[in-house]
Every structure is written in structure tokens, then in C-alpha cells.
Amino acid sequence: MASTRSAPDPGVEMLAVRNLEVVYDDLVLVLRGVSLTVADGEIVALLGANGAGKTTLLRAITGLLDIHRGKVTKGGVALQGTPIEKLDAPAIVRRGIAQVMEGRRIFSELTVEENLRTGAYTRKGRGEIAEGYARVLDLFPVLKDRRSSTAGYLSGGEQQMVAMGRALMAAPKLLLLDEPSLGLAPKIVEQIRDIIVEVNRQKTSVLLVEQNAQMALGISTRGYVMETGRIVKDGPAAALLADEDIKEFYLGITGDTGRKSFREVKSYRRKKRWAA
Amino acid sequence: MSEFLQLCFNGTALGARYALVALGFVIIYRATGVINFAQGGLLALGAYLAYALNDTAALPFALAVIGAVIASGLIGAATERVVLRKMVGQPVFAVVMVTIGMLFILEQTITSIWGFEALNLGDPWGVQIVRAGDVVLAQRDLWTIGIAGAVLAAFFAFFRFSKLGVAMRATAFDQEAALAQGISARRVFAVSWGISGALACLAGVTLAAGPAALSPGIGAVALIAFPAMIVGGLDSPVGAVLGGLIIGITQALTTGYQEDLFGWAGANFAAVMPYVVMVLILLVRPYGLFGTREVRRI
């Protein structure tokens, strides 16, 4: 779909999250001023432990906060320079952001083909949809033979492929992936990784939320680390892979023991960039 | 034997009407998790609209029915938009109470416009019959079965093959994941109510066809379609149709063999039978014949 895409202004990011604050139930502050960017054509990794606020950030970007009683109280989200934080989920999908939710969330009562078709809900034009469908089956040849199977009977890896294929059916400019490797065998994780690289090569920017830091940083240009609602570290992927603290907390390569969080690490800087 | 076949035929015609109403219940339940008690009111209103178009506006019967079905669909969708959308996020109990309130409002509206007296919905079938051996088939019943069958088939095709139909099933299964695909839950809710209203109207018309058969109490049939839906399983469209047929045939057979089998229970035992069937089936299968066990994710 490269031809239909408007050329982004140089200097305008694909995705720009600025100083975002999110509150649940008018009470619980979950994001405390998060800023993050994804440039056009980039893969960006977002790392962090459970409860750091990664999924909340994705919900804020994709307009799914409402149904969790969440609200953006400060800051904003822009797609190619246009603010989108006030739009609802269908409008955001139409603007070009698709996501693979944590835990896959496929429609397991529907067939594989029906699942993929739901992903194209916002698109018009049979030809375009058929083309997208063919492209998805090219990316995931395994699904070809299983088109009419009930999706719930597929293996975990195949279900993840259905979830990714479904998101790609929307022909997104930006793809958000929430822990695509969760619960999958190492071999399948490798496949998923290769597919993410291929999708990105076909001109889709990617924001990859992962606990598997090795895999995520291995294919990303840059990475961010989140903890208790803040970005606590960011930089080029190679630098993060070499970082002592990252090695300790996310790659399981321990030097000394007893430290449980970045809070206790000397190099931890409490950064609040773009802060008002 | 011929008596048995006769009763089965009558029961099927009755069950087809229940199936239409029960399917309306199920569609709304699947989409929104709410049991719509106003369904009976929509059914009666649909039948009266057909009467108004046919008798007062002097349209041909078929046109009047089509017009009433479309109007009922729009009324259903409008109800969702005006009343129930305000209730999104409120406890299910409150929403159900709202639908019960709407049932009374609809019933009162009907009686204040058309009065309490039974009216004649001018159906073209009258008391004409077709004979198949010893079995007497009323033309009205044949039409009812035919129309209900065609409409049900059309809706199953819609849910299976159309973009919106698949989107509605997706929303029923996982609303948030459907939203994430860009499927507007609001649109799905409104369409569900629209379809449900249209189905209720069709059921109402087929029930009210016949001499002096149109009266405000006609909506009470929804109370019998209710066990039909429970028997089939709250969230299963196939179950709703089969449940409707099971209840309809059971009722007809009970009426037919009342003297022989249920003499001890007094007259009109057929009115109780749907609930007896419901209780028996729920004892064996608590989720209905085709219902899914509810799985709660946390």
C-alpha cells in the first residue's frame, strides 16, 4: 500500500507520545508522563516488567481506555503530526494504527478466514481486501490450509499468527504488538520475529512491547524501558543490549544479587523529558 | 397417527413464531448481554403497525407487513440509540429494569391508540386449508412456517457471510478485541436491536393473522418464547430456533392429548408445559441445549 500512503513530512514522527498521563477510575495514576516516539519505518521496542504500564500505553494510543474506565489526563498522542488522543478506537484504526493485543484475543468461535476478515472491517473495496488477504496468507503460509478451521482449535503459535494477520488486514501504517512471544516455544518465537522484520520491510512501522528483551532489541532500532508508569531508560537497541542493568533485569545475566528494580540502580535517572 | 402428525404440524407453526421471538432475544443478548423484556411490546407494536398500514392506510397486506417490519426495525434501533446507549456501563440489572419499563410504556401506548378491543388484521389466508392425507394444513400456518424458515435462513446467511454479520459475531465474542479491529460496538448494538425489532414484528403479524386475533395481550407470547430461548441456550441462535420448535410442538401435543394424559392436571395444562420442559432441560443441561458455559476472564 506504499503508493496510497501520504509521504510524511521530514521531521514528523509516525507516532509521538508526549508527556502522557493516564488515570483509571479517576483514582489510579498508571502512566506518569510517558514520552516516546516511533519514526517512519522504524521498529521500536518497549520493555518493562508486568504492571509497568506498557499495555495501558497501548490502550491510550488505540482508544481502548474508555472501556477500562481509563482517561488521558495530560499530554497527547499524535500520528504523523495529527493528534489522535480524542478519537475512538474505530477512527484510530481507520487512521492507520492496528494492534495485536496481549494474549492474542482471537475470536476463537470464528474460523480463521472470518477472523482475518474482521481485521479488514474498516477497509473499503473488495479488490483491496482480497489483495491484503493474499498478502497475509503469503506471510503466514501455515494458515492457508486452516482457513476454514475454527480458530480456537489452532495451536498457540498459529493463533498468534491469526492475531497478527488480522491486524495486518487493516493495512496499518503503524503496527502495535503486545507481547507476541508470550507463551510460545522458542522456535515459534523465531518465526514471529522474522515475520515482524518482514512486515517492517514492507513499510509498516512497529512498536513492539515485549518481556523477551533479547528478541525485541535484536530486531529494533531503538528501545525504551518502562517502570511503574515512567520511561526510565531509552536509547539505540545495541546500547541497551550492552547495558549492564538491562542485562541483569531483562536478559537474566546477573552480576550481583539483591537488586529488584531500576530504582535501586545508580545509573537510574528520573527523566521527565518534554515536561511542561 | 394422523392426529399425531396434525398436532406436530400445528406445533411447528406455533414453534416457528416462538423461534422468531426467541432469535430476537438471543441476538440482543449476545451483542449486549441484556435480556430485552420489551420484546413482547415490540411484537405487539409491530402487529398493530401492520394493522394500521393495512386497514387504516389501505395498503395491500404484503406491503403493509413489509412496511411494518421495516418500521419495527427502525423503532428497535432508535430505542437502543435513545434509551439503552445511556445505560452503557451501568449494571445489567438496571438495564433489564429499563427494558421492563419500556414494555409497559409500549403496551400503554398501544391501548391508548388502538383500544382494548380485538381487531381483524386482514390477512389474505382466512381459513383456507390444504389437505395432505388426513392432515389438515391451514394455509396461514403454511405461510407462517415458510416465512419464518426463509427469514431465519436469511439471518443465518447474514451472520455467516456478510461483513457486518461476522463483525457482530466477533463483537459478541470479545467486544474489546472487536473494537481493536475498528468494529464500532455502537453500530453493532443498534443493528442488533433493529434486527430484533423486525423479527418481533414478523412474529406478531403471524400471530395476529386471523379473525379477531389482534389484541393488546398478544405480547404475552414473548413470555412463552422466553423458555424457548432458555431451552436452546441463551446465547445460541440455532438453539433459539430449535427451542422454539420444541416448545411449540410440546404445547400442541399437550393440548391434543390433554384428556388422555393430563386429565388430572385440569384444563389448559398446555400453558404450563413450556415451563415444565424448561425446568426439565435445565436440570440436565444447565446452560441449555446449545448454550456455552460462561467463561470469565480476569
B167 touches chain A (CB under 8 A): yes
Q: Output the pLDDT for position B158.
A: 92
Which among A111, A118, A136 is the top mutation candidate for probing chain B, defined by the most B β-carbons within 10 Å of its own β-carbon? A118
**Confidence band of A263 (pLDDT split at 50, 70, 90):** low
pLDDT digits (tens, 9 = 90+) for B105-153: 999 999 999 988 888 887 777 778 888 888 888 888 898 899 999 998 9
Q: Output the pLDDT for position B56.
A: 87
Which among A67, A100, A111, A121 is the top mutation candidate for probing chain B, defined by the most B β-carbons within 10 Å of its own β-carbon? A121
Among candidates A90, A105, A170 on the partner chain, residue whose Cβ is nearest the Cβ of B177: A105
B251 and B17 Cβ atoms separated by less than 8 Å? no
Q: Output the pLDDT for position B32.
A: 82
Angle ∠(A221,A119,B34) on CA atoms, nearest 5: 125
Distance (Å) from the alpha carbon of B30 to chain A's nearest alpha carbon: 13
Question: How far from A273 is each of A225, A233, B14, B172, CA to CA, in Å?
Answer: 14, 11, 70, 42
Q: What domains lie within chain B, and their CATH numbers?
A: 2-284 (1.10.3470)
B168 touches chain A (CB under 8 A): no
Query: What gap in Å lies between CA A225 and CA A232, rounded to an integer?
Result: 6
Distance (Å) from the alpha carbon of A115 to chain B's nearest alpha carbon: 8
pLDDT digits (tens, 9 = 90+) for B188-224: 999 999 999 999 999 999 888 877 678 888 888 888 8
In this predicted structure, the answer to whether residue A3 has a pLDDT above a threshold of 80 is no
Among candidates B166, B173, B181 on the partner chain, residue whose Cβ is nearest the Cβ of A93: B181
Q: Output the pLDDT for position A250.
A: 75
Q: Which three cell numbers stand for residue A134?
A: 493474499
Q: What are the average pLDDT values for consecutive 10-residue runs of chain B, which has 298 residues?
A: 89 92 90 87 94 90 93 94 81 88 92 88 77 85 91 90 92 91 92 94 88 82 86 86 93 86 77 89 86 52
Which among A105, A116, A160, A174 is the top mutation candidate for probing chain B, defined by the most B β-carbons within 10 Å of its own β-carbon? A105
